[in-house]
């Protein structure tokens, strides 16, 4: 079975592990097409060639790079005719120009296709996007969705074909696991000696990982931690237009010494970063045109024994399940209460760490997602 996958998301090195897992399954010959760069307006990402064994990776030009709905691949026709796959996995939303382009090519050469969607809000698009979406839905043999709300959206839009709930990517437990924290020496040991007889509460290391934009709700997190009773620090990792405003807010709240901001790092470095956290918070806010579609950092953190706390926004509660804590969206007081509970209750933290790790191993490994995806390939053949 020859599979051709088109995926700008696979410029991220950690995501490529799923490709290796797909390629390792019996009777699968995989070719993946990626751009050299995805110019996301908030966080541009260059191709990280990390997990590239067992399949062919084709790097090709992308036009209108960074335009989510309008980008396309000038050389895709040549690639499709060269590979002549049995399955064309188009890892894009049904209403995108790149998806329409790929679907037209699939029809030209008689290839069965699979589409992926995160879209968990019902939207009607103006021409030509609505027309492209209808064409894609009418011609694809299968639709993969990353959350249950997306399945409801596409059924409401009239798609009646094969649909499976399979997240786009998982995590590899051999990569995402808790690494031992480095021990400090020197002056810190003197401090420990001087305070050896004092009862101390361990510092709770809280983290946020993601884009620094308004809809991610980071200012709620700043306000919530500013009211915590007990030792804590907050580490914020990411890039985005809100960074300066958030730094000023931390200063205004009087918590700057406890809050650190770090720029985004390669995906392969994230397991080490997560291993330095006790808690990860995803305080997302729903907007008229967006709500959280999955929250991949949640499963990455859980795999690294980090307790997760998330807003009841979009797919976040679905991902967390019983393995973490949630709070009402935009409710600073409830977020503060949940963090205070974790700060005070070490046993609860340990219990949630175990639940999180188990949930990832049972539901969100790259191997499981790869197997489920290939099962769909076989089903439509």
The DSSP letter of residue 61 is: -
Q: In three state form, how does the secondary structure of 221-275 look? A: HHHHHCCCCCCEEEEEECCCCCHHHHHHHHHHCCCHHHEEEECCCCHHHHHHHHC
Interior angle at CA 55, CA 50 and CA 61, nearest 5: 70
Distance of alpha carbon 270 from alpha carbon 209, whole angstroms: 9
Query: Does residue 189 register a pLDDT over 80?
Result: no
Q: Tell me the pLDDT of the chain averaged across its residues.
A: 93
User: Are 2-170+365-380 and 187-363 equal in CATH topology?
Assistant: yes
Query: Does residue 188 register a pLDDT over 90?
Result: no
- pTM of the prediction? 0.84
Show Cβ contacts of residue 183 under 8 Å, excluding neighbours closer than 6 positions.
none
β strands within 60-173, DSSP E: 87-90, 112-117, 142-145, 162-165
Confidence of residue 181 (pLDDT cuts 50, 70, 90): low
Distance of alpha carbon 247 from alpha carbon 222, whole angstroms: 10
Phi, psi dihedrals of residue 278, rounded to the nearest 5°? -100, -35
Q: Over the stretch 24-71, which tens digit does the pLDDT of each residue have?
A: 999 999 999 999 999 988 778 999 999 999 999 999 999 999 999 999
Tell me the DSSP string of 149-201: HHHHHHHHTT--SEEEE--S--B-TTTSSPPPPPPP-THHHHHHHHTTTS--P
Say what the pLDDT of residue 266 is: 84
Q: Over the stretch 142-178, which tens digit does the pLDDT of each residue have?
A: 999 999 999 999 999 999 999 999 999 999 999 899 9
Confidence of residue 359 (pLDDT cuts 50, 70, 90): very high
Confidence of residue 196 (pLDDT cuts 50, 70, 90): very low
Checking DSSP bridges between strand 259-262 and strand 162-165, what pairing results, if any? unpaired
Mean pLDDT value across residues 215-241: 96
Q: Over the stretch 244-279, which tens digit does the pLDDT of each residue have?
A: 999 999 999 999 999 999 998 888 899 999 999 999
Domain-by-domain residue ranges, the chain? 2-170+365-380, 187-363
Query: Does residue 365 register a pLDDT over 50?
Result: yes
CATH fold of 187-363 reads Rossmann fold (3.40.50)
The HSE-up count of residue 87 (CA atoms within 13 Å, CB side) is 27
Architecture of domain 2-170+365-380 in CATH? 3-Layer(aba) Sandwich (3.40)
């Amino acid at each position: 079975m020859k599979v051709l996958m088109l995926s700008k998301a696979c410029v991220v090195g950690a995501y490529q592990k799923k490709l290796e897992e797909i390629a390792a399954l019996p009777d699968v010959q995989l070719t993946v097409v990626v751009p050299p760069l995805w110019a996301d307006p908030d966080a541009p990402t260059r191709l990280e060639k990390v997990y590239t064994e067992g399949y062919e990776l084709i790097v090709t030009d992308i036009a209108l790079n960074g335009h989510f709905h309008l980008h396309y691949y000038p050389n895709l026709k040549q690639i499709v005719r060269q590979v002549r796959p049995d399955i064309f996995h188009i890892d894009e939303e049904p209403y995108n120009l790149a998806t329409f382009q790929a679907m037209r090519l699939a029809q030209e050469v008689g290839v069965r296709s699979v589409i992926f969607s995160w879209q968990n809000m019902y939207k009607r698009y103006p021409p030509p996007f609505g027309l492209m979406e209808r064409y894609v839905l009418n011609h694809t043999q299968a639709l993969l969705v990353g959350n249950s709300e997306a399945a409801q959206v596409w059924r409401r839009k009239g798609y009646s074909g094969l649909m499976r709930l399979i997240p786009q990517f998982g995590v590899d437990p051999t990569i995402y696991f808790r690494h031992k924290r480095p021990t400090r020496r020197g002056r810190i040991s003197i401090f420990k000696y001087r305070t050896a007889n004092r009862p101390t509460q361990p510092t709770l290391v809280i983290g946020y990982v993601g884009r620094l934009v308004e809809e991610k709700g980071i200012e709620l997190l700043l306000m919530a931690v500013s009211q915590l009773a007990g030792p804590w620090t907050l580490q914020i990792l990411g890039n985005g237009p809100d960074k300066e405003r958030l730094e000023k807010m931390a200063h205004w709240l009087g918590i700057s010494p406890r809050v650190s901001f770090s720029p985004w790092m390669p995906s392969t470095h994230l397991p080490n970063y997560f291993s330095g956290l006790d808690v990860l918070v995803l305080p997302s806010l729903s907007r008229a045109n967006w709500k959280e579609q999955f929250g991949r950092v949640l499963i990455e953190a859980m795999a690294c024994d980090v307790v997760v706390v998330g807003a009841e926004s979009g797919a976040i509660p679905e991902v967390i399940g019983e393995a973490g804590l949630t709070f009402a969206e935009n409710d600073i007081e409830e977020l503060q209460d949940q963090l205070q509970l974790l700060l005070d209750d070490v046993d609860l933290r340990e219990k949630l760490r175990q639940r999180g790790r188990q949930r990832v191993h049972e539901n969100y490994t790259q191997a499981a997602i790869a197997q489920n995806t290939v099962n769909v390939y076989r089903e439509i053949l």
